[in-house]
Structure 1
């Protein structure tokens, strides 16, 4: 398992939300460019960037983000405002390594089917598309976590798997931004249901002990954000962990 540092952007600023609430924003006095340079210089080759404006339908950040991302050699896992298959293809074509799809996959019944058939190779589908599952008390949330889906969590996972999507980014909203520990119970349920999925855990990671617990249940990777900004996990610790994870492959 490896660690992916997270950078959330709201109005072109580096921020973190608490439980996905846009009214509970912590702003950090650092730029996106500075954070990317900090991670890259410490040997981390993957980074997770979320456009929080885009997640709620405001695309004012996208030109700025595209310009910054074009200039980095790091692999970027990107989400927020991906509303069409054309946008998925555009982002991948522009060098984004993984594109996260969430709201459109839930609200548009044909989106995942069309996205699946648009990829010739199922390996490319798994490597470059991540299905976001944002969960609050086992209810799937979307549109910046402001809306609830009636679709049951495990039914949604099964549908995605049937279409060839195997990599999931699961955020436990109850845990997100609180530094209170990762949602181990939720991730265990998902892995018990489908042991072969490639699961990226997100939300609540507060220390390297949380990272160790996630590794023990065999998630593929975990996203860490606020714990870095609040100095609970250092960039050096991430580097050391990821180097050991690479060496064990």
Structure 2
């Protein structure tokens, strides 16, 4: 099980939202680079970066902070938020990230995303953010008429790096992940599925591992100290 700390960026600070609501924001640290360094020092070998401003604007916004994080920690990072065309994807890779997460345009323009996967093989992550099983777009502000499972099946043959599945209703709520929905998605796709949204306790992580999920993203639970990253990694190593 790979544990991936999340660093959500808004206005240059490290924040967390509740259920993707920009009106329910908690600022955890004004120095995201220091946060990234902390997670690396505590054992993280991969980071999940989200440009929340970029998700709303439809273009990368927190570029200076992202570049500084990647340069400082020297471990792989994946980036999502506002990456909706080839230029934005190339700009993300120019910042030094290893993988780019595409959500909104993958829903709206499957033909483009399929071809983008061919242009960037093994480097694009499909971001599936769902509310009641239906995919949401535009920084979770718009609902689509596509289910997460349908979209995952559509891209089964694409050379994806992974799929990040987030249950919006669970995100930031410290209520546990939607394990069943995550597993249904994993069963419908040949790609690695990374669980996100609501992962709160060590037991949550162990349950995902028992159910065959190989990676998960942790956010608020780390920032509020409910889970200590070294303790979690030690326990996973002992399983």
TM-score, length basis structure 1: 0.88
Which runs of structure 2 are paired with 1:1-249 in the superposition (5 Å)?
1-57=1-57, 59-119=60-120, 125-126=121-122, 128-165=123-160, 167-194=162-189, 196-241=190-235, 244=237
Q: Identify if the C-alpha distance between structure 1 residues 60 and 92 changes in structure 2 by more than 3 Å, giving closer, same or farther.
A: closer
Q: Identify if the C-alpha distance between structure 1 residues 59 and 117 changes in structure 2 by more than 3 Å, giving closer, same or farther.
A: closer
How many Å separate the matches in 2 of 1:2 and 1:73? 17
- Unaligned 5+ segments in structure 1 are 120-124
Q: Identify if the C-alpha distance between structure 1 residues 130 and 241 changes in structure 2 by more than 3 Å, giving closer, same or farther.
A: farther
- Unaligned 5+ segments in structure 2 are none
| Partner SS for 1:145 | coil
Kindly tell me the number of residue pairs found equivalent between the two proteins: 238
| Partner SS for 1:71 | helix
Q: Is the Cα–Cα contact under 8 Å of residues 134 and 147 in structure 2 kept in the other structure?
A: yes
Q: Is the Cα–Cα contact under 8 Å of residues 85 and 111 in structure 1 kept in the other structure?
A: no
**Offset of 1:175 from its aligned partner?**
0.6
| Partner SS for 1:99 | strand
**Offset of 1:168 from its aligned partner?**
0.4
How many Å separate the matches in 2 of 1:112 and 1:59? 18
Which string of whole-angstrom CA distances, capped at 9 and with x for unpartnered residues, describes residues 142-176 of structure 1?
10100111123222111111333361000011111
How many Å separate the matches in 2 of 1:109 and 1:160? 8
Q: Is the Cα–Cα contact under 8 Å of residues 4 and 46 in structure 2 kept in the other structure?
A: yes
Once the two structures are overlaid, the 10-residue window that deviates more, 141-150 or 52-61, is: 52-61
Q: Is the Cα–Cα contact under 8 Å of residues 2 and 241 in structure 1 kept in the other structure?
A: no
TM-score, length basis structure 2: 0.92
Moved over 6 A (4+): none
How many Å separate the matches in 1 of 2:110 and 2:44? 37
How many Å separate the matches in 2 of 1:109 and 1:29? 37
How many Å separate the matches in 1 of 2:135 and 2:144? 5
Q: Is the Cα–Cα contact under 8 Å of residues 43 and 239 in structure 1 kept in the other structure?
A: yes
Q: Greater relative contact order (Cα 8 A, min sep 6): structure 1 or 2?
A: 1
| Partner SS for 2:84 | coil
